[in-house]
Structure 1
Amino acid sequence: MLKAHIKDDFKNLLEYRQWAETKFKNLSFENETYLNRFTKAFVDDRIRMQPEWFGKNTSYEEISGGITQYKSPDLIESIYSQVNDKISTATRSKIKVRKINYNPSGLGVFVYDRAAMGLYRLKEYYSHSLDRVVDKSEVSQSPNGYILSADNSKVIERWEEHPDGRPKLRTNSKKVFAWFPPQSKEKSAVEMFITCGAPAAIDAEKFLYSGIAAIITAQILEIARIPTRISLVIGSSPDEFEETVFASIIPMKNYNETLDINLLALLTSDPRFFRYEGFKGLLGVYDHFGASIPSNFGTAMHREYLTDTIEKSGYAKRAGLAPNRFYYGSTFSENQAIDQINLAIEEISSKII
């Protein structure tokens, strides 16, 4: 069985960054030899000699300061449109939208639009002398209006109000509370894991296809109201994933959160992040588990390696992951992205229907 050393206690990107930076500054003596790769001089040389390594028009100050925006938002839009337009209606419709049930008993969320279809108001009688609403049977009509039969004091006819003065509305529509009938975790929740990184020959633009594939899949699931959690996995192996793997898992979207396209693109597809902060995290996770950092620590984790890291190591069971899981990575072309989306929707739909 593959032995996976996984650090998975980060709540978000900020926690990962803080840990990676602290760990980097406190590497054990045997691993300090890699510190020079993150100096300004080393990075500036890399930018000059290999402009595509971090992507064009970048600087040491930019990548060392903690980037928060994907380098080219226009590129996200362009590649997203190209891939999204080629996902067929048949593929999208495989994930059935969860049906909403409506009820009159207060279960779920009040839906004003349904209530508004039958809104109406009633009149009530208010006695100043008693400082309360009185029943119609307690009221008599006089030439000057309404009076309280008991003492002839004035009574006001008005539209119904709540005690705080707000208008009291009624509705003929009874089923005005919406809720999703509970489904078993096995049929509803989906977990997506994405690895970042690419071989040195892959330029910055091609990085983005893995992220776009995951984004489009997540959007299809969101439309169908399928609870989805998405995590980034930054991993490395000293033996090409034969026996051992070291990895960090960073949450990018929890079940109750909306999809942040910029964040997902930044972490999965921006070489500035992977080849600087990602590499720092790789050094840190080796050192964290008391291992020597290998010379090939930055070798990209392919989708197959990512799958093995979670599945074959027993991590999925130990971590109590949702049974419906899918993995992304090493997707560097439009066709590969389309294939990944089609495969993901096919697999997920077969499990949750």
Structure 2
Amino acid sequence: MLQAFIKDDFKNLLEYQAWVNESMDHLNRNKHQRQAFSEKVIKDVIMYQPSWFGKGTTYEELKSGITTFKNPALIDKIYNKVNDKVTVNVRQQIKSKKVNFNAMGLGVFIFDRAAMGMFRLKEYYSLIHDLVVDSSAVRKVKNKYSLISDGTEVIERWEQQDNGMPKIRTTSKNVYAYFPKRDREKRSVEIYLSIGGSSEVDADDFIYSGVSAIIVAQLLEHAHISTKISIVVGTSPDNFKKSVFASIVPIKNFDESIDVNLLALLSSDPRFYRYDGFKGVVSTYEHFNATVPDDMGYGFNHRNNLKATIENSTYTASAKLAPNRIYMGRIFSEQEAIADIESTIKQLAETINS
């Protein structure tokens, strides 16, 4: 069995970056790697290999910690190109969660459902006594009303609540909606996203991995399926034969909405991967008292490597995983992105809709 050395106790990006910086300042076994991230080396890379981090990158922004995707317009451009080519048939494969309705106040009040049978009633109100009276206690003479008991004036009005607001009734009783807990847990999804790419990959092409994940996550969100997304930063020193070292950083928790900027940044910004990511690889090996290979080891270039790390390793026995897990990342073209989205949705549909 593949032995997976995984650090997965990060709450967010900032916590990961703080840990990486602290670790790099106190390297022991891998202290020789610190030189690769020195100001001189990084500035030389920026000058002589501008496509490595992307044009316009500065050492100062890398050192301070990247928190915003550099080119939002690129996200929109690639997202629109890929999203337009995802067919309606693919989008409709994942069915929305079944909603249960009740009249007991369990869940969220659905106004539209209540409005279908909405109506109001009249009531009799005594001005002198400041109270609502029963119709049997009222005498009507022509268009005027009075109390039979003492002859004082009564008016007819629309029903009101104690606070003076209109009282609305509805014939629709089951106006509260909720998703059964068992159904929610059964359909929950975890997306593990491998970030980065080899040295031959141009900086701008990193975006396709992020766009694929964004579209899949949005389709799941639209279907009201609880989804968690995490990036996996790490390598294997022996091409996934015996061991792998990685850190898992959450991008989106089950109860959170999609942060497109954060997802694009961590999955598709070469500044993050080739600086914070590489430092993270070194830090992870150091954390487990192992020596990182000089070439940083074998990355998660294939989805099967990422899947093996999570599913077929020592990690699975101790981790609490969602019942549905998918593996994405390292996609560098429009065609690959569309194919990946279609295959991912098909895979999920087969398990979630069953």
Alignment TM-score > 0.5, same fold: yes
Amino acid at match of 2:235: S
Cα distance, 1:320 vs. partner? 2.0
What is the root-mean-square deviation in Å for CA atoms of aligned residues?
A: 2.3
- Structure 1: distance between partners of 2:286 and 2:147: 85
Shift in Å, 1:141: 4.5
Task: Show the 5 A alignment for 1:188-203.
Answer: 188-203=187-202
Map 1:246-265; keep pairs closer than 5 Å.
Answer: 246-265=245-264
Matched residue, 1:321: 321
Match of 1:18 in 2: 18
Contact 2:184 2:226 (C-alpha < 8 Å) held by counterparts: no
- Matched position secondary structure for 2:347: helix
Deviation, 1:185, is 5.8
1:343 aligns with 2:337: no
Distance 2:172 2:248 in 1: 48
Structure 1 runs (4+) greater than 6 angstroms displaced: none
Q: Which residues of 2 match residues 35-184 of structure 1 at below 5 A?
A: 35-127=34-126, 130-141=129-140, 145-184=144-183
Aligned to 2:2: 2
Give the Å deviation of 1:331.
Answer: 1.3
How many Å separate the matches in 2 of 1:2 and 1:61?
39
Secondary structure class of the residue paired with 1:30? coil
How far off its partner does 1:186 sit?
6.9
Whole-Å Cα distance in 1 between the matches of residues 39 and 156 of structure 2? 80
Q: Report the AA paired with residue 205 of structure 2.
A: K
The answer to whether 1:289 aligns with 2:306 is no
Q: 1:24 and 1:89, CA in 2 relative to 1: closer, same or farther beyond 3 A?
A: same
In the TM superposition, what whole-angstrom CA distance separates every residue of 1:76-113 from its partner, at most 9, and x where no partner exists? 12222222222222222221223434333333221112
Indicate yes or no: 2:228 matched with 1:229: yes
On the 8 A contact 1:236/1:282 being kept in 2, the answer is yes
Higher mean displacement: 154-163 or 239-248: 154-163
Q: 2:72 corresponds to which letter in structure 1? A: P
**CA-to-aligned-CA distance 1:114-169 (integer Å, 9 cap, x gap):** 22233222223344555443323333447995444444454444322222222211
- Whether 1:307 aligns to 2:307 is yes
| Cα distance, 1:250 vs structure 2 | 0.9
Q: Secondary structure at the match of 2:5?
A: strand
Alpha-carbon distance between aligned partners in 2 of 1:177 and 1:269, rounded to the nearest angstrom: 41
Relative to the length of structure 1, the TM-score reads 0.91
Q: Secondary structure at the residue paired with 1:86?
A: coil
Q: Which whole-Å CA distance do the structure 2 matches of 1:56 and 1:107 have between them? A: 54
> Hey, what's the Cα distance between the residues in 2 that align with 1:341 and 1:143?
73
- Residue 333 (structure 1) aligns with: 333
List per-residue Cα deviations over 1:171-212 (Å, max 9, x = no partner).
Answer: 233332223345446741111100111111111111111111
How many aligned positions are there?
352
Contact 1:186/1:352 (CA < 8 Å) preserved in 2?
no
> Is contact 1:185–1:322 with CA below 8 Å preserved after alignment?
no
- Greater shift in the superposed pair: 233-242 or 43-52: 233-242
Asked if the contact 2:29/2:286 (under 8 Å) is kept, the reply is no
Structure 2: which 5+ residue stretches go unaligned?
A: none
Following superposition, the deviation at residue 346 of structure 1 comes to: 1.7
Q: Tell me how far apart the structure 1 counterparts of residues 138 and 23 of structure 2 sit (CA, whole Å).
A: 80
Percent identical across equivalent pairs? 51
Give the drift of 1:248.
1.0
- CA distance in structure 2 between the aligned counterparts of 1:21 and 1:166, rounded to whole angstroms: 58
Contact 2:238–2:298 under 8 Å retained in 1: no
Cα distance in 2 for residues equivalent to 1:154 and 1:186: 60
Return the offset for 1:267.
0.2
Q: 1:318 to 1:156 in 2, by over 3 A?
A: same
CA distance in 2 between counterparts of 1:237 and 1:18 reads 24
Q: Would the aligned equivalents of 1:195 and 1:301 in 2 still touch at CA under 8 Å? A: yes
Contact 2:184 2:225 in 1 (8 A): no
Deviations 1:254-308 (A, max 9, x none): 2222222221111011000111111222222222222233312265322222111
Letter in 2 for 1:106: G
Other-structure match for 1:244: 243
Q: Report if the CA contact (8 A) 2:237-2:298 is conserved.
A: no
1:231 CA drift (Å)? 0.8
Does structure 2 retain, via aligned residues, the 8 Å contact 1:282–1:298? no
What CA distance in whole angstroms lies between the structure 1 residues aligned with 2:78 and 2:154? 70
CA contact (8 A) 1:279 1:298 kept: no
Q: Which moved more, 1:46-55 or 1:130-139?
A: 130-139
CA contact (8 A) 1:230 1:251 kept: yes
